[in-house]
């Protein structure tokens, strides 16, 4: 599947017909983290099925809609639920909403996810600021013919996550009195949770948390020149020698339990963006 500039424009125009503001920030809310959308003031809600070229979100805990409005004094467009490759979507379609956000005016992307904790010091309910990622999905949304209108052919990925935003996120956590880690997110295709051998492998490769999303969206955001803040909520402990069964419902519940921490970080970071002008 190839995403064209015309398709991006069509989706953006369909959003503008319902919400005419220019977003400063795009937000992607992962499993169990959709509650942040309730903090958006004067919301305009648009179901994905009401927009061209966007599929229906089928993952547990994903409402499947855009929520547009104001958060921490900034106009934002938030995905309350995302698309995943394990749902059968190609990576370029998974990342299409990021292109739409940037076309509408967003310069900053906040992307969140529920993830398994690989670092043995991480506890369920902890938050980790993503410092870097490993793409073990082995798929890339930029593969195929390159349209210069959609960005450069070879975007540099040496620093996909904005270090200033990451520093501010950890500062907010300290001010609020809760622990916030910083580490490497490992993107796996899914939809199965990892085997014990896979947990050992990704930990030895340098991963601190593991999940099934985020990487395609961040790659496209970097191609588009957006600043990126990535946040993972630890929803289960991935100790290969002390594993218990993991279910999607448990992951969603654990992510929701940590939503106040995530909200505090996002609102704190966006407030600092406002102060920067």
Q: In this model, does residue 24 exceed pLDDT 80?
A: yes
The pLDDT of residue 22 is 97
Q: In this model, does residue 144 exceed pLDDT 70?
A: yes
pTM for this structure?
Answer: 0.94
Q: Residue by residue, what is the 3-state secondary structure of the chain?
A: CCCCHHHHHHHHHHHHHHCCCCCCEEEEECCCCHHHHHHCEEEEEEEHHHCCCCCCCCCCCCCCEEEEEEECCEEEEEEECCCCHHHCCCHHHHCHHHHHHHHHCCCEEEEEEEEEECCCCCCCCCEEEEEEEEEECCCCCCCCCCCHHHCCCCCCCCCCCCHHHHHHHHHHHHHHCCCEEEEEEEEECCCCCCCHHHHHHHHHCCCCEEECCCHHHHHHHHHCCCEEEEEEEEEEECCCCCCCCCCHHHHHHHHHHCHHHHHHHHHHHHHHHHHHC
The pLDDT of residue 2 is 84
Q: Is 276 annotated as a binding residue?
A: no
Q: In this model, does residue 91 exceed pLDDT 80?
A: yes
Asked if 131 and 182 count as a contact pair (C-beta separation under 8 A), the reply is yes
Q: Is 84 annotated as a binding residue?
A: yes
Tally of CA atoms within 13 A in the half-sphere of 225 that contains its CB? 6
Q: Is 257 annotated as a binding residue?
A: no
Q: Is 57 annotated as a binding residue?
A: no
CATH of domain 21-236+248-276: 3.40.50.1580
Q: What percentage of residues in the chain have a pLDDT greater than 70?
A: 91
Q: Is 31 annotated as a binding residue?
A: yes
The pLDDT of residue 55 is 80
Domain extent listing, the chain: 21-236+248-276
What's the rounded mean pLDDT across residues 241-247?
64
Structure tokens at 134: 């490993």
Q: What percentage of residues in the chain have a pLDDT greater than 90?
A: 73
Query: Pick the residue with more confidence: 53 or 228?
Result: 228
Q: Is 259 annotated as a binding residue?
A: no
CA distance 65 to 51: 10
Asked if 185 and 195 count as a contact pair (C-beta separation under 8 A), the reply is no
What's the rounded mean pLDDT across residues 240-256?
67
pLDDT tier at 272 (50, 70, 90 boundaries)?
confident
The total of other beta-carbon atoms located within 10 Å of residue 20's CB is 9
Structure tokens at 165: 């935003």
Q: In this model, does residue 61 exceed pLDDT 70?
A: no
The pLDDT of residue 207 is 98
What is the rounded average pLDDT for all residues in the chain?
91
Q: In this model, does residue 274 exceed pLDDT 90?
A: no
CA 191 to chain centre: 17
The pLDDT of residue 260 is 87
CA distance 251 to 243: 15
Positive/negative CA dihedral, 196, 198, 199, 204: positive
Query: Pick the residue with more confidence: 218 or 81?
Result: 218
The pLDDT of residue 35 is 78
The Cα-based distances of 134 to 21, 39, 137, 188, 216 in angstroms read: 35, 31, 9, 9, 11
CA distance 210 to 114: 9
pLDDT tier at 60 (50, 70, 90 boundaries)?
low
Q: Which of 134, 142, 130, 34 is nearest to 94 (CA)?
A: 142
The pLDDT of residue 86 is 93
pLDDT tens, residue by residue, 106-141: 999 999 999 999 999 999 999 999 999 999 999 999
CA distance 28 to 214: 9
The pLDDT of residue 64 is 84
At 74, give phi and psi (nearest 5°): -120, 140
The pLDDT of residue 20 is 94
Q: Is 114 annotated as a binding residue?
A: yes
The pLDDT of residue 21 is 96
Query: Pick the residue with more confidence: 84 or 247?
Result: 84
The pLDDT of residue 38 is 87
């Amino acid at each position: 599947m190839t995403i064209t500039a015309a398709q991006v424009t069509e989706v953006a125009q369909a959003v503008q017909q319902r919400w005419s503001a220019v977003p400063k920030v795009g937000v992607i809310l992962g499993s169990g983290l959709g509650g942040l959308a309730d903090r958006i003031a004067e919301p305009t809600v648009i179901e994905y099925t009401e927009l061209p070229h966007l599929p229906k979100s089928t993952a547990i805990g994903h409402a499947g809609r855009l929520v547009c409005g104001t958060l921490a004094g900034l106009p934002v467009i938030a995905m309350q639920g995302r698309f995943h490759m394990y749902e059968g979507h190609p990576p370029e379609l998974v990342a299409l909403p990021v292109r739409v956000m940037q076309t509408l005016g967003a310069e900053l992307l906040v992307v969140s996810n529920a993830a398994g904790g690989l670092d043995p010091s991480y506890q369920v309910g902890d938050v980790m600021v993503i410092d870097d990622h490993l793409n073990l999905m082995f798929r890339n949304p930029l593969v195929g013919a390159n349209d210069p209108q959609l960005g450069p052919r070879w975007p540099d990925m040496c620093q996909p996550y904005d270090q200033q935003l990451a520093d501010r996120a950890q500062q907010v956590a300290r001010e609020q009195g809760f622990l916030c880690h910083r580490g490497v997110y490992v993107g796996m295709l899914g939809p199965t949770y990892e085997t014990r051998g896979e947990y050992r492998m990704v930990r030895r490769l340098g991963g601190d948390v593991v999940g099934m999303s985020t990487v395609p969206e961040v790659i496209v955001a970097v191609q588009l020149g957006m600043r990126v803040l990535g946040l993972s909520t630890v929803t289960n402990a991935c100790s290969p020698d002390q594993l218990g069964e993991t279910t999607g419902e448990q992951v969603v519940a654990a992510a929701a339990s940590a939503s106040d921490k995530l909200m505090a970080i996002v609102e704190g970071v966006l407030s600092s963006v406002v102060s920067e002008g």
